[in-house]
Amino acid sequence: MDSFIVEGSTRLRGKIRINGSKNAALPIMAGALLANGPSVIEDVPNLSDIQHQMNLLTELGAVVQRQSDGSMKIEVKDESNSHARYDLVRKMRASICVLGPLLAKRGEARVSLPGGCAIGDRPIDIHQRGLEKLGAKFRLEGGDIIVTAQRLRGADIFLGGNFGSTVLGTANVMSAATLAEGTTTIESAACEPEVVDLAEYLNAMGARISGHGTPRITVEGVADLKGCRHRVICDRIEAGTFMVAAAISNGEIELENVRLRDLMATVDKLRAIGVIVDASNGGCTVARSQRLHATTITTQPHPGFPTDLQAQFMALLAIADGNSIITEKIFPDRFLHVAELARMGAKVHREGATVIIEGTDQLVGAPVMASDLRASAALVLAGLAAEGSTTVNRVYHIDRGYERIEERLNKLGARIQRVDQRELEN
């Protein structure tokens, strides 16, 4: 397993291009299962989560190939196997997004229940509620859900849950509804840009979806869908992560390939604490040259503050002036980074789904343990600002969602070395 050794007190400066969105690409790749003929998806980042999805689609009978221009060609050749095995799904819970496409196109699916992960339980009861309304039958066998449907029929579906909308639940139900008979209305749909991007791709394949990006999506079923070419949107969470990197390191970074309209809650908070965010054509410049102010953050479904940037902002607020409060409303247990930041001198105190952060002047480098994808990124960011060096262990978590992050941060002036953890133990 690899670790990062992050040298502290580094100011980041320079320009960086933001990659295509992992969380848009994953459901879009699954959506290709709905099509007759090949799809070519552009700007799919080269990440371990994407590789897992490629492996899964291959097992489900698709030929999945990176083209010479970096795009990804997906064509279903064999529909005889519709089993998403536990061994693949346990490595990436997002594999659940093949459920809707398989059900709609093949009338059956066997998908391992995702199980829990570092950020909490990952139930799929809302996915099930929506697909059952379309006519699907669910049963549980050996940890797998077996889902069948003779013919999906359009329905009026409420997809809200105790934590608001569900991103992949909306993706599954919207995808399945494209081939259902009649019209489906999805109430309390997720409004995330990644759901909008999926809808755009499905419409380009011949689906008839409207209202995507709002809490009410309407889908008029069609007979079939045809593969097409589609470029995924830029990764707003990667962009937000690099914005925090500029702020936490007292630096200045120009980001290219960013849609600021997808990050309004994030930019609002950055500006509120004293970070400069200037829009430029196709991107923005982020800089910080003064002490940061404290603030309060509550994570919410889009367009609210994204849970996927909660850990990164906690690292940033750890060096702000005054007391900040972060409340996690999406994944209330998404706080594995709290204890690790405390090892670096952050004054953080958790009370249930809320963390109080008492700003301190200086973090201090220490050995820390990565856990979930975004918490791991937060520890690297904290290491940039800390005095001395920080060793972040188990960085395979980071590789799931950030392509060669150490190389890209080093190009901006960071000093991060990737080492095999065994080298550290010798």
Residues of this chain that interact with ligand EPZ (CB under 6 A) are 23, 26, 94, 121-127, 161, 163, 166-169, 194, 307-308, 330-331, 373-374, 401
Residues with a known catalytic role: 117
Contact between 402 and 238 under an 8 Å Cβ cutoff? The reply is yes
Contact 278, 323 (CB under 8 A): no
In angstroms, the CA 275 to CA 292 distance is 7
Minimum separation from the CB atom of position 345 to ligand EPZ (A): 26
> In the complex, what is the shortest distance from the CB of residue 303 to ligand EPZ, in angstroms, rounded to a whole number?
12
Residue 315 CB, nearest approach to ligand EPZ (Å) = 15
Residue closer to ligand EPZ by CB (options 292, 315) is 315
CA–CA distance, 203 with 179 (Å, rounded to integer): 12
CA atoms of 64 and 260, how far apart (whole Å): 32
Output 5 or 94, the one with its CB closest to ligand EPZ.
94
C-beta of 5 vs 103, nearer to ligand EPZ: 103
CB of 68 to ligand EPZ, least distance (A): 27
Q: What angle do CA 265, 361, 390 make, to 5 degrees?
A: 85
* Least distance between ligand EPZ and beta carbon 337 (Å): 12
Residue 346 · residue 335 · CB < 8 Å: no
Of 127 and 230, the one with the shorter C-beta distance to ligand EPZ is 127
User: Using the 8-state DSSP alphabet, how is residue 18 labeled?
Assistant: P
* Strand ranges inside 133-256, DSSP E: 137-141, 144-148, 156-158, 183-187, 208-210, 216-220, 225-226, 229-231, 252-256
Toward ligand EPZ, which CB reaches closer, 124 or 318? 124
Q: At its nearest, how many Å lie between ligand EPZ and the CB of residue 380?
A: 15
**Angle of CA points 2, 95, 175, to nearest 5°:** 145
User: Where on the phi/psi map is residue 187: left (φ > 0), alpha (ψ -120 to 50), or beta?
Assistant: beta
Closest by CA position to 360, among listed 291, 305, 270: 291
Contacts of 322 (CB under 8 A, 6+ apart): 293, 294, 359
Q: Which CB, 22 or 105, lies closer to ligand EPZ?
A: 22
CA dist 92 and 85 (Å) reads: 11
